[in-house]
Amino acid sequence: MGPSYKMQAESDSMKDPRRLRGRLLQQVFGRPLKDFIWILISGLWVTALILGYIGFSKSAVSKGESSTPLDLIYLTLQLITLESGSGAGPLPWELEVARFALPTLAAYTVIQALALLFREQRQRLRLWFIRDHIVICGLSRKGLLLARSLLECGEDVVVIELDEGNDLIKQLQVRGAIVLIGDGTDRAVLNRAAVHRARCLLAVCDDDGTNAEIAVQAQNLVKDLSRDPLTCIIHIVDPQLCDLLRENEIGGETFTQLRLELFNVFERAAQLLLREFSPFSPERGQPDLAPHILLIGMGRMGENILTQAAYTWHIRNPDSNNPLRITMIDLKASEKWKSLEVRVPHLTDCCQVQTLSMDVRSPDFYQANFLSDSQGNAVDIIYVCFDNDSLGLNVGLTLLSRTKKQDIPIIVRMMEGHGLASLLGEASEEGSAFRNLHAYGLLDKTCKPELLFGGVHEMLARAVHEDYVQEQKLLGYTSEDNPTLVPWDQLSEEKKGSNRRYADHMGIKLGAVEHRIEPLRDWNAVDYEFKENDIEIMARMEHERWCQELRREGWRYGPTRDDARKVHPALVPWTDLPENERDKNRDFIRDLPRLLSRVGFQVQRSN
């Protein structure tokens, strides 16, 4: 019966420049010592050798001995192996320092060299025993941020990187990650990384095709193994490839031993940004007043913000005649809007879009006449979405100077939260002259394990649980009556797993009645209705799946439910199930289109 439930005066603005300068100095000089360790060691070597030479020179003079420069150099080098430096009487302080410093430095250098020499051998040894680890293919900034976070959480991490000269490799090795040099699309390299014993595989290379190929090779590696499906999360940016793979993302036939999840930093960042800096009023009692959004820079981030804002507006105001107002500024604004119209036809039904094809460095942009409409009403919110952080910040500061008299939030999309973004973040405190200017670090916001692992299956499982909780509370039940009526984060792993298995099985049930799951294209697909015969078939399949799951967990039939003894009266064949219990399964099936639309999918008949 569905899942397991059958069961947050302007202050002195002169302080802002000082805070910015202080933050910049911290960024430059606040780096850890390990970043400079070999420069420091090299300096100590040179200093110790010079002191040894001077010490031996002074010692020879004090003893009346004649020594050539080559003799002094030879004696100094012998200090490294403890074969010189001893002598009767007091020695010059330079020699005293050098005869202890040089052997110590030599020992340290040898130890470090051996550590580097045998690092690969140590990694191979660890890989013999490692299991339930996480494999990351591609060490870009995305891969680095994810690996760091996972290591901080105590996870075992194996990284596969093609470029052995990647400067980020050492940063992870010193933190305990295993780094293999090789091609993630090579099945032999995946085998060396022990993917067949891994808990999760992340493909975050810069090329979409490479990430998709990694998923295929991983499937070939684990397809004949008796194990739980390997979770494979791949980063895909191209919309067409994303749609193609998403048709197999839930219950697909292509990936049988692989639980495929897609990850798009632009799509996920747009979702999170619109929650943190929403253009919509939080009140839901009456139809909303259409806001006016200004979008500057229509790359992938800009497109995702526009599309998701429009869909949210459509859901909030399905019968409203006041369209969402959007002004787009880009060098090719008209062309990009036409492309979006073709790919997302529903945009024209709920949006009134003005396109301005202009250069943000042009005089027309600096005049900023686009900040208000023909009636003189100012825009409600501004999103600046450029790949270049410096350009984005420059545009944000320009708009801030033009909107001093209006309280308009300006959100600048930046790649990461440190550097320029961290300076801006500190400057935008409440009461500051920069309070309306906000930096949004794209990778910092999205490359987090808790978000990454919350893929489509996870979102569906959460949606099922949230609906169940809401339904039970409307019936008057509380968490005291039913311990599962709690937020997802407080739910036991057993109950979470049951919801996940329910989400995994959706595609199988739909395939049995010649339906499939595909990316959401029809925004009215939430109202899709199944034929009664199809509902009956899928409801019966869901009941049988639920029965098998409970029997595996040790439940058995009994006339009265007893959770402590794992007894349930609904553990009977479909033909023997009471009609009211059958209706619960049918209601779950009827609700599938709405659940899928909440996470960006729809139901479509196959033929």
pLDDT in tens, 445-460: 888 776 677 666 777 7
pLDDT digit string (tens) for 122-135? 777 888 888 899 99
Q: How does residue 161 score in pLDDT terms, banded at 50, 70 and 90?
A: very high
Q: Is 50 exceeded by the pLDDT of residue 328?
A: yes
| Inter-CA distances, 133 with 26, 127, 196, Å | 35, 10, 10
For the chain, give the mean pLDDT.
82
> Among 154, 151, 155, 206, which Cα is nearest to 184's?
206
Q: Over 80: is that where the pLDDT of 6 sits? A: no
Predicted local distance difference test score (pLDDT) of residue 423 = 58
Q: Quickly name the fold that domain 269-449 has.
A: Rossmann fold (3.40.50)
Which residue in 458, 459, 453, 305 sits closest to 383, CA to CA? 305
d(CA 511, CA 508): 5
Residue 333 above 50 pLDDT? yes
What Rg do the C-alpha atoms of the chain give, in angstroms?
A: 32
Q: What is the pLDDT of residue 89?
A: 66
Residue 435: which residues within 8 A CB-CB, separation 6 or more?
428, 429
| Torsion angle of the four alpha carbons 515, 516, 517, 522, in this order, in degrees rounded to the nearest 10 | -60
- On whether the CB atoms of residues 297 and 331 are closer than 8 A, the answer is no
Quick one: pLDDT at residue 58? 86
Per-residue confidence (pLDDT) for residue 464, from 0 to 100: 82
573 or 25, which is more confident?
Answer: 573
**Which comes out higher in pLDDT, residue 119 or 588?**
588
Element (H, E) at 582: helix 579-590
List of residues 6+ apart from 528 with CB closer than 8 A = 593, 602, 603
- Looking at residue 3, its pLDDT comes to 54
d(CA 189, CA 133): 16
Query: According to the model, what pLDDT value does residue 574 have?
Result: 95
Topology annotation, domain 456-605: Globin-like (1.10.490)
Answer whether 119-263 and 456-605 agree in fold.
no
Checking if the pLDDT of 21 tops 50, the result is no
Quickly state the pLDDT bin for 167 (edges 50, 70, 90): confident
Rounded CA separation 278/543 (Å): 41
Q: How confident is the model at residue 427 (pLDDT cuts 50, 70, 90)?
A: low
pLDDT band at residue 116 under the 50/70/90 scheme: low
Average of per-residue pLDDT across 173-190 = 91
Q: Between 228 and 529, name the one with better pLDDT.
A: 529
Determine the pLDDT at residue 16. 46
Architecture of domain 119-263: 3-Layer(aba) Sandwich (3.40)
Amino acid at position 212, single letter = A
Alpha-carbon gap, residue 334 to 324, rounded angstroms: 18
In the chain, what are the domain boundaries?
A: 35-117, 119-263, 269-449, 456-605
Is the pLDDT at 198 greater than 90? The verdict is yes
Q: In the prediction, which pLDDT does 432 show?
A: 65
- Nearest-angstrom CA–CA distance, 453 and 259: 11
What is the C-alpha to C-alpha distance for residues 206 and 367, in angstroms, rounded to an integer? 38
Pairwise CA distance, residues 524 & 253, whole Å: 27
Other CB atoms within a 10 A radius of the CB of residue 214 amount to: 29
- How far is residue 455's CA from residue 466's CA, in Å, rounded to a whole number? 16
pTM: 0.64
pLDDT at 35: 53
- Using CA atoms, how far apart are residues 558 and 32, in angstroms rounded to an integer? 64
Enumerate residues 6+ apart whose C-beta is below 8 A from 519: 242, 243, 246, 247, 600, 601, 602
Give per-residue pLDDT as tens, 459-480: 778 778 887 888 888 888 888 8
Which among 112, 183, 180 has a CA at the least distance from the CA of 147? 180
Closest-CA residue to 141 (of 236, 205, 74): 205
Phi and psi at residue 158, to the nearest 5°: -115, 125
Task: Name which residue leads in pLDDT, 239 or 441.
Answer: 441
Q: For residue 493, how many other CB atoms are within 10 A of its CB?
A: 7
Closest CA to 229 of 247, 248, 243: 248
Lowest mean pLDDT among 77-86, 302-311, 493-502, 577-586: 77-86
